[in-house]
Amino acid sequence: MKPPATLVALLHGPDQPGLVARTSGWIYARQGNILHADQHRDMEAGEFFQRIEWVPAGPGAANEATELRAFAASLGMSANVARSDHRRQGVLFVSKEDHCFHDLALRWKAGEFAGDFACVISNHADLAGAARHYGLAFHHVPVSAATKPEAERRQREILRTVGAEFAVLARYMQVLTADFLQNCGVPVINIHHSFLPAFAGGKPYHQAHTRGVKLIGATAHYATAVLDDGPIIQQDVVRVTHRHGVDDLVRKGRDLEKLVLAQALRWHLENRILIYGNKTVVFD
């Protein structure tokens, strides 16, 4: 049996007594049935964060998202409300590296994500055939220093045309400009092949090998105008030794990158991530 559609609210604001009781009471008063509820208090900042999911009931259920946002505002909180039966459309950005691309596409085909990919955008044509194999339209948008403004304009146009609600940089080896990120209209999830903030920028595995670290990692984060500095969603590490060369680090790192990026996207699509400042609260 298909589960009933639910509403998922992410709320945050200054902490005060009674917030949990008041939000649950608001849902109860409308005959809603709470399925999951979790909350967190940042002790240093005095901020309250909550994720609550419920099955709405009654004739006014269609308006509950709007009404909850107004109710949250009356408590000094902001709220984002999503429906579980809305599958958001996303776009994959790729270059030549294909491991994250194939992993996400296969997971999508297997039904692991609460959303869909509308198309693929790439600055190289290498993965055109693979994209079409998965039934995804492929847009080749070459990028150079001279053509970058026009290329990013074209990319934003594609996002608007397909109705994209998120984008994933699956080892897309171009730095997105501040102008693109400010005007693309969607959150952008990136995978960086190091345990940020260590080894930001290019060739992090080479940097790690030169430094002789004993752990390497991967980091999924929201892209911002500052390179590799956006709010972190998920990270993981694997142990290495002096016996491992750069190729070994790359091989081990690729496995991490796939897992970390897939988990970050899954949490994003399930409305489990609250961003505040340059940090995230992830209700896993």
How far apart, in whole angstroms, are the C-alpha atoms of residue 79 and residue 278? 18
| 76-111: pLDDT as tens digits | 999 999 999 999 999 999 999 999 999 999 999 999
In the chain, residues under CATH classification 3.30.70.260 are: 7-83
The answer to whether the beta carbons of residues 26 and 68 sit under 8 Å apart is yes
Q: Tell me, what's the pLDDT at 60?
A: 62
Output 268 or 209, whichever has higher pLDDT: 268
pLDDT of residue 72: 96
pLDDT tens figures, 171-225: 999 999 999 999 999 999 999 988 888 888 888 888 888 999 888 899 999 999 9
Provide the pLDDT for residue 2: 73
Cα 245 to Cα 172, 194, 221, 250: the distances in Å are: 24, 16, 27, 9
pLDDT at 151 over 90: yes
Provide the angle, in degrees to the nearest 10, between the axes of the packed helices 246-269 and 204-211.
130
Range in 2-16, 55-69, 124-138, 231-245 the model is least confident about: 55-69
- Per the annotation, the verdict on 116 as an active-site residue is no
CATH fold of 7-83 reads: Alpha-Beta Plaits (3.30.70)
Q: How far is the C-alpha of 211 from the C-alpha of 83, rounded, in Å? A: 47
Buried b (16+ CB within 10 A) or exposed e, 247-260: eebbebbbebbbeb
Structure confidence at residue 116 (pLDDT): 98
pLDDT at res. 59: 63
For CATH 3.40.50.170, list the domain ranges present in the chain: 88-282
The answer, yes or no, to whether residue 62 has pLDDT greater than 80, is no
Overall average pLDDT of the 220-240 stretch = 93
Query: Beta strands of 173-254 (E only): which ranges?
Result: 188-192, 215-222, 232-239
Q: What is the pLDDT of residue 193?
A: 85
Q: Is pLDDT at 58 greater than 80 in this prediction?
A: no
Summarised one tens digit per residue, pLDDT across range 4-30 is 889 999 999 999 999 999 999 999 999
* Mean pLDDT score, 38-50: 95
Out of 38, 42, 179, 228, pick the active-site residue. Answer: 228
Local structure of residue 163 (DSSP, 8 states): T
The predicted model scores a pTM of: 0.93
For the domain made up of 88-282, give the CATH fold. Answer: Rossmann fold (3.40.50)
Cα 105 to the chain's mean position, in Å? 15
Task: Tell me which of 61 and 119 has the higher pLDDT.
Answer: 119
Q: State the average pLDDT for the chain.
A: 94
Helix (H) or strand (E) holding 21: helix 19-29
Q: What is the DSSP letter of 125?
A: S
